[in-house]
Amino acid sequence: MINKNLKLNPKIFDPDVEQKPTRDGYGEGLVLAGQKDSRVVALCADISDSTRSAMFQKAFPDRFVETGIAEQNMMGLAAGMAMAGKIPFVSTYAVFCPGRNWDQLRVSVCYSNANVKITGAHAGVSVGPDGATHQGLEDIAITRCIPNLVVIAPCDAIETKKATLAAAEYVGPVYLRFAREKTPIMTTEDTPFEIGKALVFREGKDVAIIGCGPLLHNALLAAEELAKEGIEAMVINNHTIKPMDKKTIIEAAKKCGAIVTVEDHQVMSGMGSAIAEVLAENYPVPIEFIGMKDKFGESGDPNELIEAFGMGKNAIKEAVKKVIQRKK
């Protein structure tokens, strides 16, 4: 049953639920952050429309920095600007940032604890037709292993806006991950958001589906259908991959005794792995992982790719049934 306390979108299960790209939420959040704090600046490497940092550029032309196609320099510039008191947001595709400038992220930003916000757009196989080179499927893995760095994958445009504002207020490096395509709006302006605090979207006792990003909608759809078969699935929006909300995750494992993790990212070293680390140490239960299984993506329609690579609603349902069978 949907958690009423979170004031989620009442139309969440409607076939015509409003859809919007999470990157739009970033653009809106960045403008709001800029209005609230004049120290906020935005840097982008030649794709400001794509990343929606163009919205900030329009609102604050003097605080927008076009770096050209030079992602390594962009990260370093941001570190320097943070050292001068600015709150820089750097944006480009996740495959380039943190993909191409990981060393700069590690040393110039994180080792120095510079107050830089790093955003990776077009994350996941759901980028679609651009193909494997542009589908960021490793960004969670390569960010969550760096000390001092907070890692957030918001589930919809509204949550992304809140996460962007929260990142601006947080002192220290933060990585935010966005998707390209329109995805269902699951939350409302009244849904709470706090860095490091997972949200139980749906109550359940037989299995806990823990996800991040827009795929959570598939998890919710799967849970509704499973309910008709007598399986009550808890669904958790684990937007902050680091620091992990261990309390909520461990409680879910204790209550349900089985976990399915869901993410549009490589299963290896992703959010599911982070959940497995927490549970292996604290309360081991069977886990099934939904995500990319050590493969590169390819061109295609986003929904087609999600189905083809085993991240759709039906794949989640199958994983749930499998993991329940593994319960002793």
- Which span sits near other proteins by CB under 8 A: 18-26, 61-69, 127-135, 269-277? 61-69
Residue 90 CB, nearest distance to other proteins (Å)?
Answer: 11
Residues 23-42 that bind other proteins (CB under 8 A): 41
Residue 141 CB, nearest distance to other proteins (Å)?
Answer: 20
Residue 263 CB, nearest distance to other proteins (Å)?
Answer: 30
Alpha carbons 64 and 88: distance in angstroms, whole number: 9
Residue 1 has which token pair? 């049953």
Residue 152 CB, nearest distance to other proteins (Å)?
Answer: 24
Identity of the residue, 68 or 284, whose beta carbon is nearer to other proteins in the bound complex: 68
Asked if 298 is an active-site residue, the reply is: no
Q: Are 55 and 31 in contact (CB under 8 A)?
A: yes
- Residue carrying the six token digits 């349902």: 317
Residue 133 CB, nearest distance to other proteins (Å)?
Answer: 19
Count of CB atoms situated within 10 Å of the CB of 57: 21
- Burial letters for 249-280: b for 16+ Cβ neighbours within 10 Å, e otherwise? bbbbbeebbbbbbbbbbbbeebbbbbbbebbe
Interacting residue with other proteins among 14, 37, 103, 194 (CB under 8 A): 103
| Residues 6+ away with beta carbon under 8 Å from 155 | 22, 186, 187, 211, 212, 213, 214, 216, 217, 237, 239
Report if residue 252 touches other proteins, rule: CB under 8 A: no
Identity of the residue, 64 or 201, whose beta carbon is nearer to other proteins in the bound complex: 64
Sign for the CA dihedral angle at 53, 54, 55, 59 comes to positive
Alpha carbons 126 and 128: distance in angstroms, whole number: 5
Strands (E), the chain: 19-21, 40-44, 64-66, 87-93, 117-121, 150-152, 174-177, 182-184, 199-202, 207-211, 233-237, 240-242, 259-266, 287-292
Residue 78 CB, nearest distance to other proteins (Å)?
Answer: 6
Identity of the residue, 19 or 113, whose beta carbon is nearer to other proteins in the bound complex: 113
Report if residue 81 touches other proteins, rule: CB under 8 A: yes
Report if residue 77 touches other proteins, rule: CB under 8 A: yes
Residue 197 CB, nearest distance to other proteins (Å)?
Answer: 28
Q: Is 273 helix (H, G, I), strand (E, B) or coil?
A: helix
Alpha carbons 11 and 23: distance in angstroms, whole number: 21
Report if residue 91 touches other proteins, rule: CB under 8 A: no
**Beta strands 182-184; 19-21: pairing state:** antiparallel
Identity of the residue, 174 or 267, whose beta carbon is nearer to other proteins in the bound complex: 174
Report if residue 79 touches other proteins, rule: CB under 8 A: yes
- Which residue of the set 18, 28, 66, 71 is catalytic? 71
Report if residue 231 touches other proteins, rule: CB under 8 A: no
Interacting residue with other proteins among 12, 44, 55, 75 (CB under 8 A): 75
Q: Are 207 and 199 in contact (CB under 8 A)?
A: no
Report if residue 68 touches other proteins, rule: CB under 8 A: yes
Report if residue 90 touches other proteins, rule: CB under 8 A: no
Report if residue 117 touches other proteins, rule: CB under 8 A: no
Among candidate residues 21, 300, 324, 269, the one with its CA nearest the CA of residue 135: 300
Q: How many residues bind other proteins (CB under 8 A)?
A: 29
Interacting residue with other proteins among 51, 67, 115, 191 (CB under 8 A): 67
Alpha carbons 39 and 55: distance in angstroms, whole number: 17
Residues marked active site are found at 71
Under the rule (CB under 8 A), what is the footprint of other proteins?
Answer: 41, 62-63, 65, 67-68, 70, 72-73, 75-86, 103-104, 107-108, 111-114
